[in-house]
Structure 1
Amino acid sequence: MSDRNVCVVIDYQNIHLTAHGFFAPEGLPIHESLVEPCRFAERIITLRAQRQADAPPARLASVRVFRGQPSNKHEPFTYGISQRQRSQWTRDSRVEVNYRSLKYPGDWPDTPSREKGIDVLVGVTLLELAMAGTYDVVILASHDSDLEPALEVAQQKGVSKIETAGWVGGRIPRVNGRRLWHTALNAADLVGVRDRRNYLPPASPAAQMTAIMQSKQT
């Protein structure tokens, strides 16, 4: 039987922060526990093959990443880092990184910026992929219960098989109270899929610290 094409849809901040909260060593900054999207998706494919003994062979065909985009006006330093991350991750032609601008409250930075609308984009993309049937399997990587309605419609009306993935111990999205096939990754998997690249601009440590402080005061 020929390989089955798989697309992994990643709710990036949800996956990143959940992994950091569960598995990161004490004191490790959040930005040092980034997940490399393609390695993360490939690990999902490997684990599901090990656990679905009777499933046809599968290959990773596409990775869709959704995350918040810092403002170049408010946080130019962080904005630059996010652009370098997208440039690096999309060197693999299977990876597509989709940004949506973060929302900045009037009293920022006292109140932090936050993502807005990412769950809607993820849900819409999940439905479009399921209905199109371009991929045999579409896997949602998220622990967000707000995505359960989209999962339900995708599972009921889509052409593609729908599955979920995430971290051991994290909340598993359900359809009508029942789990779809779920591939869970653990702390050892995180070690293998972490993105350890240095995305800071080429400058001295003092210049980098100055840029960080300026971005926080903007």
Structure 2
Amino acid sequence: MKLVILERDGTLNALTEGEEFVGSPDDWHALPGALEAVARINRQGWHAVVATNQAGLGRGLFDVAALNAIHAKMHRLLSAAGGRIDAVFYCPHAPDENCLCRKPAPGLLEQICERYGVDAADVQVVGCGAAHLQAGAAIGAQLHWLRSVASPQPLSGAPLPAGLPPLTHVHQDLSAFADYLGREETLASAQAVPAAP
């Protein structure tokens, strides 16, 4: 099974400047091209799941019903774009609860790998936040940072943010990551074809 673990906020949806969380479906707005990128990832044979810290639950800022409604909207919009997220895994704890599932701790990603029976070394962990990628590094996954939200400058010539693990691939946005997967798939297929005698 080919698995991509996506960060939610900043990867699939935008956060308004100054916002720390999305508290209602009305506040959830897909980033341009993100839903279509998930559909392309799916068409290439990849399953996609979301791993997200939701400290607003632990702080009492919204409840599980609101979170479920947000994700129902996300699933509905994805379906209309021809894509799907197989599951959403979330940490409901506030930062001071010292749980094992709040990223950058690896617990949430470990749960995903165990649930799907995949080798973490084959998993693609994709997001715009250092904590998401640090959790991916802790399980030995392949890491992909999306520059567009955190830093809209071109790929070349701009420094990477502090905290990114070594060997992190850099992409402009989720659509560029989908392009990368397609190129890698094409390369792997070409290498698998035996040479003519």
Point out the structure with max Rg over C-alpha.
1
Going by fraction, where is strand more abundant, 1 or 2?
Answer: 1
TM-score, normalising length: structure 1: 0.44
